[in-house]
Amino acid sequence: MNQNEKVIEFSAIKKQYGNFHAVKGIDLTVHKGELFGFLGPNGAGKTTMIRILTGIIKPTSGNVLIKGYDLYKDPDNAKSRIGFVPDRPYLYEKLTPLEYFDFMGGLYNVNKNQVESKGEEMLKLFDLWDRRNELIESFSHGMKQKVAMSAAILHDPDIFVVDEPTVGLDPKSLKLAKDFFRNLISQGKTVFLTTHTLSVAQDLCNRIGIIRNGEIVALGSMSELQKKASLPGNDLESVFLKITEEEEQEKII
């Protein structure tokens, strides 16, 4: 397993909505086997970056490589390597979870048997197997999140992209999700997640990037961030607040 292999490469990514610059020229590389946490205050540009990474939106300029495949020139190869769970799990409500898996599996050209066995395994893991024949419209937010998470793994992606995985999950499901991410990493997969729950990021991530006003203001392991914030031994919450506040003050000055 080549741990130095670059699986995600953002080059000079900019995203502009009218006069508003949501992302201001970000360069970022994520390596194979990393559990990368992308943190930042509200409106910092996290979700925009994730949506660019998954090909949902196009950047105004810049490029994204997924395992060496250009996301815009070779989207089929690039996208088939990503499994994505959005922050708001809008799913096709008139389908049952198993029908939804069949749909998602088909989009990624996965064998039907693989979809069925993997789907069953995931629904059992998330305690949803008994509700497999009910329409998704009757599910709670957390249950939909679990269905979305299960669907994202069906095609066995190399990179798992998760936007706010903790939203809507109960403590038991949250623990399940965390174990699930760790398990992916142990299999040599890469996880790219954003979260506001700093304890989750501190607990899970090998490397963290902090974004503010569309720019990365800090990047590194937990100890590197503590060093940058001159707060050795402190938790991620203190480090995060220190870094983002310092940046704000620097801007004011």
Partner 1 sequence: MNSFQLLTPAFKKIKRVFSLRSRFVLWLLVGGSLLVSGVIYYGLYRFLDYVGRAPMLGETIGPLIGGLLVSKLLEMLLLTLFFMVLFSSIISALSAFFLNEELPVLMASPQPIGRIFRSRFIMMTLESSWMVIAFFLPALLAFATALKAEPMAYLIYPVYLGFFMLLPNICGGFFALLLGTFFPIRQMRKIFQFLSIIVLTSLIFFLRSLEAEKLLNPSYFKDVSQYILSLQLPLLQFSPSSWLHQATMQLFRSDYYASLKEFLPLAALSIGGLAILNFFSTRFYRSSWQKSMEAVENQVLGLEWVRKVIIFPLRFFDNSFRVIATKEITTFLRNPAIFSQIFMMSAIVFVYGYNLSILPLKDLPTLYSGEINDSLVFLNGPFIGFILASIGMRFVYPSISMEGRAFWAVKSSPVRPGKILFIKLSIYLIPMFILGLILCAVTNSIFKVSSDILFWMSFINVGLISIVITSLAIGVGTVYADFDADSPLKIAGSYGGFIYMILSGLYIINLLALEAYPMYRFFFHRFIPISRFSAGFLVTLCSLLLLFCTIAWIYIPFRKGLEVIDNYEPE
- Confirm if 14 and 25 have CB atoms less than 8 A apart: yes
Partners of 69 in the beta sheet?
A: 66
Q: List beta partners, residue 9.
A: 29, 65
- Give the nearer residue to partner 1 in terms of CB position, either 51 or 212: 51
Position 213 contacts partner 1 (CB under 8 A): no
Cα diameter, the chain: 61
Dihedral, 190, 194, 199, 205 alpha carbons, nearest 10: 20
Considering the rule CB under 8 A, would residue 113 count as an interface residue with partner 1?
no
Of 5-13, 98-106, 172-180, 242-250, the segment contacting partner 1 by CB under 8 A is 98-106
Q: How far is the CB of 68 from partner 1 (least distance, A)?
A: 16
Give the nearest distance from C-beta 21 to partner 1 in angstroms: 16
Q: What are phi and psi of 185, to 5 degrees?
A: -65, -40
Q: Does 102 participate in binding partner 1 (rule CB under 8 A)?
A: yes
* Range 45-64, binding partner 1 (CB under 8 A): 51, 54-58
Phi, psi for 113 (deg, rounded to 5): -65, -40
CB 140 within 8 A of CB 89: no
Tell me whether residue 2 or residue 133 sits nearer to partner 1 (CB atom).
133
Question: What residues make contact with partner 1 under the rule CB under 8 A?
Answer: 51, 54-58, 75-77, 79-80, 82, 84, 86, 88, 90-96, 99, 102-110, 133-135, 137-138, 151
